[in-house]
Each structure stands twice: as C-alpha cells, then as structure tokens.
C-alpha cells in the first residue's frame, strides 16, 4: 500500500511570502513610474503566480499589462524576487511541528504551487525545509497550473503517492478547486491569500493554526471511509 501523502500549497499556506512578493511588485511598478500598492492589499493580489500578481498589481493602479511589456516586466520581477526571496518571508507558526508529526506517523510530504519551480525550491531551501518534500512542483514543472487538477495528480505521482491516500492543504479557491477536481480532500487555512473567505469556498475543513492540522486531516480521511 502506498504511503499517505500530504500536499501543501506554498504562498499563504506554508509561508508568509507577501512581504517579499509585494516589495518586488512595487519595485517593478516604481521602474515604470507607477505608485506602489499598499502591502495590506497583498492577500487579495497574491496566490496565482508572479505573472498574475503583476497583472493584478498594475490593474489595482489603473494600468493594463499585457503583451511584450508583460513579458519584459515578468522577467524583471523574477530577477528581483530571486535576489530577495527570503528577506521578509517566514514559515507560519506550527508548520515544522506539524511536518514532524506527520512524518513520524509515516506520511510523505509534497508541495504543489503556482510559483515557478526554481524559485519555489530556492525559497524552501532558504527556509530550511526543502529536503522534507518528496516532490516540489511548480506551474512550469509539467506545464499545467492550479486549478487544473492534473498538476496535483502529477505531484502525487512524483511523490510516489496515490490520490486515494492524499490530502491537500491550501489557502485559496485554486487549491480547493484543484483538490476537488481530483477527488482529494482539502483542508484550508484561513490566514492565507484569497479574495473570498475560504469558509465560503467549500473545503472539507478549515484551520486557523497548524496545531489543528493533524485532527483536521484525520477527520477528512475518516469521512472518506
């Protein structure tokens, strides 16, 4: 029998990344002579990948971003973010203890993010946890991104797991829809990046701290039996 597998989103789920992402967004905006977006708006802008963040950030300032300009600024965004990827970023409280508990109980861990894979790996390495994941999959790894359930399916395959023994942990509509599309239970954190409260998006369970993850996962697994 395959090992049970816990798959995490990254931004807004495992780590508070808004500070560095918004600083990079505002760096790019400033390079174009555009006023910065207040950091407190991050939770409505972050979570769908860097290109979407750029487009949302420009739209928030009344600007349209597309075509060659989008591609040029996307490259500039990635270069700046790469150099400042963990200046302000940190793991949410309880993440490491939760991973310890699941691994001790025989679970495998993986990451499925809409970040590009290379910066996702670099960030997890900077945070000291990359080695704990059997797979780290980004939107470019297999050429498909959330909410397409194929990215979750391929993440599970890469980690040696099975959808029947997997649970997703995320913070947004994209995470919930991705898990639903593959028939995988999903636990949502309520402190992440979403423009709609996760309680309104239909996850199997909602938690407010990683201390509650173990019980939430056991509950959603029991409900599948």
Domain that holds residue 74: 18-83
Distance CA 68, CA 150 (A): 29
Give me the DSSP letters along 96-163. HHHHHHHHHTT-EEEEE-SS-HHHHHHHHHHTT-GGG-SEEE-TTTSS--TTSHHHHHHHHHHTT--G
Q: Tell me how far apart the alpha carbons of residues 205 and 72 are, in angstroms, rounded to a whole number.
A: 40
Q: End of a domain among 83, 113, 139?
A: 83
Phi, psi of 136 (to 5 degrees): -125, 110
Please tell me the predicted confidence (pLDDT) of residue 225.
Answer: 66
Count of the separate structural domains present in the chain: 2
pTM of the model: 0.92
pLDDT tens for 103-122 read: 999 999 999 999 889 999 99
| Catalytic residue chosen out of the listed positions 9, 11, 20, 204 | 9
Residues of the chain with confidence (pLDDT) below 70: 47, 225
CA triplet 149, 43, 65: central angle to 5 degrees? 80
Tokens of 195: 């423009």
Q: Are residues 78 and 9 in the same domain?
A: no
The CATH number of residue 139's host domain is 3.40.50.1000
Q: Which two tokens stand for residue 107?
A: 């679970």
**pLDDT the model gives residue 47:** 66
The yes-or-no answer on residue 171 being catalytic is: no
3-class secondary-structure state, position 195: coil
Phi, psi of 132, deg, nearest 5: -85, -10
Where a domain ends, among 59, 83, 107?
Answer: 83
| 176 and 198 housed in the same domain | yes
């Amino acid at each position: 029998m395959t090992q049970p597998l816990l798959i995490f989103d990254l931004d807004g789920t495992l780590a508070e990344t808004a500070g560095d992402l918004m600083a990079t967004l505002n760096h790019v905006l400033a390079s174009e002579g555009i006023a910065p977006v207040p950091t407190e708006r991050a939770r409505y802008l972050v979570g769908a990948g860097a290109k979407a963040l750029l487009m949302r950030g420009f739209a928030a300032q009344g600007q349209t971003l597309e075509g060659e300009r989008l591609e040029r600024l996307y490259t500039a965004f990635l270069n700046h973010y790469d150099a400042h990827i963990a200046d302000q970023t940190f793991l949410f409280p309880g993440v490491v203890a939760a991973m310890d508990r699941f691994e001790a109980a025989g679970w495998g861990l993986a990451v499925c993010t809409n970040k590009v894979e290379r910066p996702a790996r670099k960030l997890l390495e900077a945070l000291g946890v990359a080695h704990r994941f059997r797979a780290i999959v980004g939107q470019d790894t297999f050429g498909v991104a959330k909410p397409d359930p194929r990215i979750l399916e391929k993440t599970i395959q890469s980690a040696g797991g099975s959808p029947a023994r997997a649970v997703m942990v995320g913070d947004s509509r994209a995470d919930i829809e991705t898990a639903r599309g593959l028939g995988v239970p999903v636990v949502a954190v309520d402190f992440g990046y979403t423009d709609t409260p996760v309680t309104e998006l239909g996850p199997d369970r909602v938690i407010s701290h990683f201390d509650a993850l173990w019980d939430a996962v056991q509950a959603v697994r029991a409900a599948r039996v």
